[in-house]
Amino acid sequence: MFELVAVTYSVIASFVVASAARNRRNARINPPILELFGWLLMTFSGTTGVGLLGCAAYSALTGTPPII
């Protein structure tokens, strides 16, 4: 299951980054759906990172093995 999520995330992220770079190069504005997916990916990455850091900090402070 994790592999499917990782592949889906990487495909969407590469599409968003490539499209935004092409639009910047051509001096065009990004469509709203592209900006929405960009914000969605950024929020998902940030939330996942904070959650994993919190899990690691809890594990380090309590001495328990990570639950992930």
**Domain span at residue 47?**
2-62
- For the chain, give the secondary structure using H, E and C: CHHHHHHHHHHHHHHHHHHHHHHHHCCCCCCHHHHHHHHHHHHHHHHHHHHHHHHHHHHHHHCCCCCC
- Residue 11 in any domain: the answer is yes
Query: Along the 68 residues of the chain, how does pLDDT read in single tens digits?
Result: 889 989 999 999 999 999 999 999 999 999 999 999 999 999 999 999 999 999 999 999 998 887 76
In a domain, 33, yes or no: yes
Number of domains in the chain: 1
Residue 7 in any domain: the answer is: yes
* CB proximity list for 45: less than 8 A, separation 6 or greater: none
In a domain, 67, yes or no: no
